[in-house]
Amino acid sequence: MKTIRTIVYAVLLCTGSSAAMSPAQPGEREPGQAAADSLVDGHLLLRQVEVEGVKQTVRSDAMAATDISQAMVNRLGITAAKDVGTIAPNFYMPDYGSRMTSSIYVRGLGSRMDQPVVGLQVDGVPYLNKDAFDFDIFDIASIEVLRGARATLNGRNSMGGRIIVNTLSPWQTEGFRALAEYGRLNSIRGGLGWYGKLSESLATSVTAQYSSENGARRNVFLDRRTGDSRQADGRWKLSWRPNTWLSLTNTASLSDSYQDGYPYRHLTMPDIAYADTCSYRRTLFSDGLTAVFAGKRMVVTSTTSFQYMSDDMRLDQDFLPDDYFTLRQKRHETTFSEDMFAKGSRGDYDWLGGVFVFSRSTDMHAPVTFKDTGISKLIEAHRNDVNPEYPIEWFSRRFTLGSDFTMGNTGFALYHQSTYTLGDWTFDAGLRWDIERASLSYHSYCNTGYRTWHILPDGQRELYSTTPVDINDSDRLGRTFNELLPKLTVTWRRPWGSVYADITKAYKAGGYNTQMFSDVLQQRIMGIMGIGMQYTLDDIVGYLPEKSWNYEAGIKASLFSGRLDLSATAFVIDCRDQQLTVFPSGTTTGRIMTNAGRTLSRGLELTAGYRPVEQVQLQAAWGYTKATFRRFFDGINDYRGRRVPYAPENTLFVNALWIPDFDIAGIRPQLDMNLRCAGDIYFNEANSVRQPFYAVLGSSLTFNAAHWSLRLWGENISNTRYMTFYFVSIGNAFVQESRPWSIGATLKVRF
C-alpha cells in the first residue's frame, strides 16, 4: 500500500507540476470540477487520480513541454489539436486544404502527407493516421505538447513530439455543460454534455456538438463559396473503479464532417477559380479502453484502441477553370492498437517496460479522370509537338485512370526505460525495438486509345494507325522496417528548477505513396507512345523510414516564489533519409515522397511566464529553427545549404491576461490579448518563394459568472494576410491565403 501511494504521489507530482504556460489562477477552476490532488485523511486514493495516459503524462523535468490548461483552452477558443500551433514554440500546424491535410512541423521536421512527425492521442487513444488529426473536441480539459523525440516510449512517428489531449473527466466534473457560439462567416457551434457519477465506482459523461461555418473565399468560376464546413460529433466516456487498485475507462467518439475544401488560388489570378468540385467528407469512429492495475510493486496500464475511418475526397486536381483532370479518393480504414506497459520502482530506481502492437488496413479507390484540356494539353500537345507530321488524336475527350489499393501496416515493439536518481541527479536510459511491415496491393487499369494521323504534303491527313491503350496492372509490394531506438537523459535538479541533457534516436515510418500511381499510369501511357520515363514502381511509390538523432539540452527555472517561470531549450537534430513531398518534374500533379538525403536542424526555444501582480499574467514562447539540407540532389538541382521548406524559421506567441480582483454583480471580467507569429517560411527547396515573418493578433473579453460565461472574441483582428500554403503543379503556382479577421461570441452554461 505504501508503495502504491508512493507511485501515485509520483504520478501526481509529475502531472500536476506547473509548467511555464499555465500557473493556477483564481477563477480558472470551474465549478463542478474537483481538484485532482485532493487528499482524504492524508492519503491519496487511486480513485481520485486521473491515470489516463500515465506513460506520457509522467513527465520528467528533462522534457520540452507546453501545458495548455482548460482555462487557456477556453480563453483562446481552442477546439482542436491544430489550434495549438505557434503556442508551443517551434510547433506549427497550418490550416490549409481540408481536414485531411493535417501537416505538422516541429523543429524543422514534418511532412504534408503520409506519415506525421508528431503523435496524437486523445484520452489515451492514439491516432495513427494524420488524416484524422483535425477534428473538433467539445470539452478539452488540457493539451500537452511534448516537443522533441519521444520515440523510446511512443515509437513510430514521434520524431517531433507528441500531442496529448485530455477531455473533461466525469470524476471531476458534474452536471450539464452547454455551449452556443456564433461568429463572422455565419460560424455556428452548439454543444451539450452531461458528466456525473452513476455510483461510487462508476462515472460517465456524454457530449455532443455541432458546428458549421461559411467559407471565407469564393470560387468565381463556379460562383459559390469555397470552404463551407460542418461537423457533428459525440463522445461517451465511461469509467469504472470498483476498488483502489483497478480502473477501467472507455472512451468512444464518433464524428462526421463535410467540407468544401481546397481554396487554392492561381498566383496570377485575383480570385479562386476552378471548374470542378473539391470536397472532403469524413466519418471517424474511435474507441479506446484503458485499464490500470495498481499492484503491490508495479502499476500496469493497458490501452486498447480501435478506429474506423471512412472518407471521400473530391479534387479538381488542376485547380483551374480548364478541365484537366479530377480525382476522387474513397477510403475505408480500420486500425487496432494495444499498448501495455508496467511501471515500478525500488528505492532510487524506477523502471518502465512495455509492448505495443498495431495493425492498420486501408482500402482505397482513387480514380483520376482525364478531361478534354488535360488530354489535349498534357498528352496530345506534348506528343504532337515532337512529331507534328504524325499527330495523335485521342479516341474520346475523357478517360479514367483507375487505381484500387489495399494497404496494410502491422507493427510490434518492445520498450524499456530505467531511471536512477542519485541525489540531485537523475539518469534515464531507454531502448525500444520497433519492427513494422508495410504492404501495398494495387490494381491499376485504363481502357482507352488514340489514332495516329499522317499529314500529307497537300495538308490532307490519312489515318496511319490505331493504338489501343489497355492497362491492367496489379501486383503486391511489401517492405519491412526494423529500428532500434535508444535514449539517454541526464537531469540535475536545483531548488530553482532543473537542467537536463538528452540524446534520443527517433524515426518516421516508411511506406508507400499511392498518389504517385496516377503519375505512373500517365507515364505508362506515354511509354505506349514510346515517350516518357519508365518507373520502377517500388522505387517511386515506396519510401524509406526517416531517422533522426536528437540532441537537446534545457533549463527550467521558477523564480520569485513562482511568479516567474523560465525555460530554455537548445537542440540539434541530425535527420537522415528525410521524407520530403515534392511535385515530380514535368507536367503531372500529385505529390511524391522522396528520401531527401540529410538535413540538420538546430534551434532554440525560450518560454517565459510572469505574474507581476496577481491579476496579470504574461506569457511568451519563442522558437527558432534553422533547418537546412546537408545533402539533397534531386537529379537536376543541388539544394545543399537551402532551408527545409514549409517549416517556419521562427514561431512566437505572446499572451497577456488580466483578471481583476473584483466582480460586478457576481460577474468577473477577464481580458486576453494574444499574438501568434510565424516565419520566415520557404515553400520550395530552392527557397525562391517565401512567406516573411507575420503576426496575427487575437483578443477576447470574457465575463465569468458562477454558472455561465460569455466570451466575446476576435481572431486575426489585425487582418494580417499571409500565405498559408504555396505549391506548383503542372507549371502553375497556387497559393492559399490566410483566414480573414473574425469576431464572435461564445456562451457557456453549467448547471
Partner 1 sequence: MNMKFTRTICAIAVCIATCLGIVSCDSKQNDPELKYRQQILNAFVYANDMAEDLTIEYLGANYDIIYDFIAGTADVTIQGLRLPGNKQYPTITLTAVPFTIDDNGSRVLEGSNMPVAVEGFATAPVFSAFKLTVADRYFTNDYKLTPNISEAKYYSPQISILFTIDGHYRVVSSLPGQVFTGTTVTTDSEGKSFSNSDPTYVLTLDMETKTGNLTINGAKFIQNMPEMTMTFPNIPFTVSNNGTVTLQKADPIIPTIGGTPFSAFPISNFKAVYTLTTGMTLDFVCTKKNQETGLSETYSVSADLPFFDKN
SS3 string of 681-748?
Answer: EECCCCCCCEECCEEEEEEEEEEECCCEEEEEEEECCCCCCCEEEEEEECCEEEEEECCCCEEEEEEE
Q: Is 530 among the residues that bind partner 1 (CB under 8 A)?
A: yes
The Cα 734–Cα 713 span in angstroms is: 31
Residue 695 and residue 720 in contact, taking contact as beta carbons nearer than 8 Å: yes
Q: C-alpha angle 506/510/516, rounded to 5°?
A: 145
Q: Whose Cβ is closer to partner 1: residue 534's or residue 561's?
A: 534
Residue 591 φ then ψ, to 5°: -95, 155
The Cα 241–Cα 245 span in angstroms is: 8
C-alpha cell at 528: 505506349
In what helix (H) or strand (E) does residue 525 lie, and over which residues does it extend? Answer: helix 516-528
Residue 451 and residue 395 in contact, taking contact as beta carbons nearer than 8 Å: yes
The DSSP secondary structure of 490-515, one letter per residue, reads: EEEEETTEEEEEEEEEEEE--EE-TT
268, 460, 536, 561: which one binds partner 1 (CB under 8 A): 536
Which range in 27-35, 225-233, 525-533, 707-715 contacts partner 1 by CB under 8 A? 525-533
Which range in 5-13, 238-246, 380-388, 707-715 contacts partner 1 by CB under 8 A? 380-388
* Closest distance to partner 1 from the beta carbon of 405 (Å): 16
Q: Whose Cβ is closer to partner 1: residue 223's or residue 385's?
A: 385
Q: Whose Cβ is closer to partner 1: residue 452's or residue 718's?
A: 452
Which range in 110-118, 209-217, 360-368, 521-529 contacts partner 1 by CB under 8 A? 521-529
* Closest distance to partner 1 from the beta carbon of 452 (Å): 5
The Cα 230–Cα 226 span in angstroms is: 13
* Closest distance to partner 1 from the beta carbon of 583 (Å): 17
Residue 304 and residue 326 in contact, taking contact as beta carbons nearer than 8 Å: no
Q: Whose Cβ is closer to partner 1: residue 195's or residue 450's?
A: 450
Residue partners of 270: CB distance under 8 A and separation at least 6: none
* Closest distance to partner 1 from the beta carbon of 687 (Å): 23
Task: Give residues 386-415 in contact with partner 1 (rule: CB under 8 A).
Answer: 386-390, 392
Q: Is 271 among the residues that bind partner 1 (CB under 8 A)?
A: no
Which x/- pattern, by CB under 8 A, does the window 328-367 give for partner 1?
Answer: ----------------------------------------
Return the residue matching grid coordinates 475523357: 398
Burial class (CB in 10 A: 0-12, 13-18, 19+), 184: middle
Q: Which of 236, 234, 205, 67 is nearest to 138 (CA)?
A: 234
Cis link prior to 538 (omega < 30° from 0)? no
Q: Whose Cβ is closer to partner 1: residue 408's or residue 532's?
A: 532
Q: Whose Cβ is closer to partner 1: residue 473's or residue 574's?
A: 473
* Closest distance to partner 1 from the beta carbon of 389 (Å): 6
* Closest distance to partner 1 from the beta carbon of 474 (Å): 11
Return the residue matching grid coordinates 503531372: 588
Q: Whose Cβ is closer to partner 1: residue 528's or residue 600's?
A: 528
Q: Whose Cβ is closer to partner 1: residue 431's or residue 455's?
A: 455
Identity of residue 485 = L
45, 435, 488, 537: which one binds partner 1 (CB under 8 A): 537
3-state DSSP assignment of residue 176: strand
Q: Is the dihedral of CA 451, 452, 455, 456 positive or negative?
A: negative
Q: Whose Cβ is closer to partner 1: residue 476's or residue 640's?
A: 476
The Cα 637–Cα 640 span in angstroms is: 9
CA dihedral 362, 365, 366, 371 (to 10 degrees): 180
Q: Whose Cβ is closer to partner 1: residue 365's or residue 382's?
A: 382
The Cα 674–Cα 40 span in angstroms is: 40
Which range in 21-29, 196-204, 341-349, 381-389 contacts partner 1 by CB under 8 A? 381-389
524, 591, 611, 739: which one binds partner 1 (CB under 8 A): 524
* Closest distance to partner 1 from the beta carbon of 375 (Å): 17
Q: Which of 154, 78, 84, 172 is nearest to 117 (CA)?
A: 154
199, 268, 534, 688: which one binds partner 1 (CB under 8 A): 534
The Cα 281–Cα 561 span in angstroms is: 51
Q: Whose Cβ is closer to partner 1: residue 175's or residue 527's?
A: 527
Task: Give residues 432-491 in contact with partner 1 (rule: CB under 8 A).
Answer: 452, 464-465, 467, 473, 475
Task: Give residues 55-114 in contact with partner 1 (rule: CB under 8 A).
Answer: none
Residue 587 and residue 579 in contact, taking contact as beta carbons nearer than 8 Å: no
Q: Whose Cβ is closer to partner 1: residue 312's or residue 473's?
A: 473
Q: Which of 143, 149, 179 is nearest to 161 (CA)?
A: 149
Size of the site for partner 1 (CB under 8 A): 26
Q: Which of 499, 482, 350 is nearest to 429 (CA)?
A: 350
Beta carbons within 10 angstroms of residue 641's beta carbon: 10
Q: Is 582 among the residues that bind partner 1 (CB under 8 A)?
A: no
31, 527, 612, 641: which one binds partner 1 (CB under 8 A): 527
* Closest distance to partner 1 from the beta carbon of 319 (Å): 25
* Closest distance to partner 1 from the beta carbon of 539 (Å): 10
* Closest distance to partner 1 from the beta carbon of 739 (Å): 41
The Cα 380–Cα 534 span in angstroms is: 19
* Closest distance to partner 1 from the beta carbon of 641 (Å): 23
469, 529, 675, 743: which one binds partner 1 (CB under 8 A): 529
Which x/- pattern, by CB under 8 A, does the window 658-677 give for partner 1?
Answer: --------------------
Q: Whose Cβ is closer to partner 1: residue 528's or residue 606's?
A: 528
271, 348, 424, 538: which one binds partner 1 (CB under 8 A): 538
Q: Whose Cβ is closer to partner 1: residue 517's or residue 734's?
A: 517
Which range in 77-85, 292-300, 528-536, 650-658 contacts partner 1 by CB under 8 A? 528-536
Q: Whose Cβ is closer to partner 1: residue 477's or residue 572's?
A: 477
* Closest distance to partner 1 from the beta carbon of 533 (Å): 5
1, 381, 414, 531: which one binds partner 1 (CB under 8 A): 531
Q: C-alpha angle 466/383/395, rounded to 5°?
A: 35
The Cα 503–Cα 490 span in angstroms is: 9
Antiparallel, parallel or unpaired: β 246-259 and 616-631: unpaired
Q: Whose Cβ is closer to partner 1: residue 243's or residue 585's?
A: 585
* Closest distance to partner 1 from the beta carbon of 475 (Å): 6
Q: Whose Cβ is closer to partner 1: residue 472's or residue 719's?
A: 472
Residue 476: which region, alpha, beta or left (left: phi > 0; alpha: psi -120 to 50)?
Answer: beta
Question: Given the rule CB under 8 A, which residues bind partner 1?
Answer: 385-390, 392, 452, 464-465, 467, 473, 475, 524, 526-534, 536-538
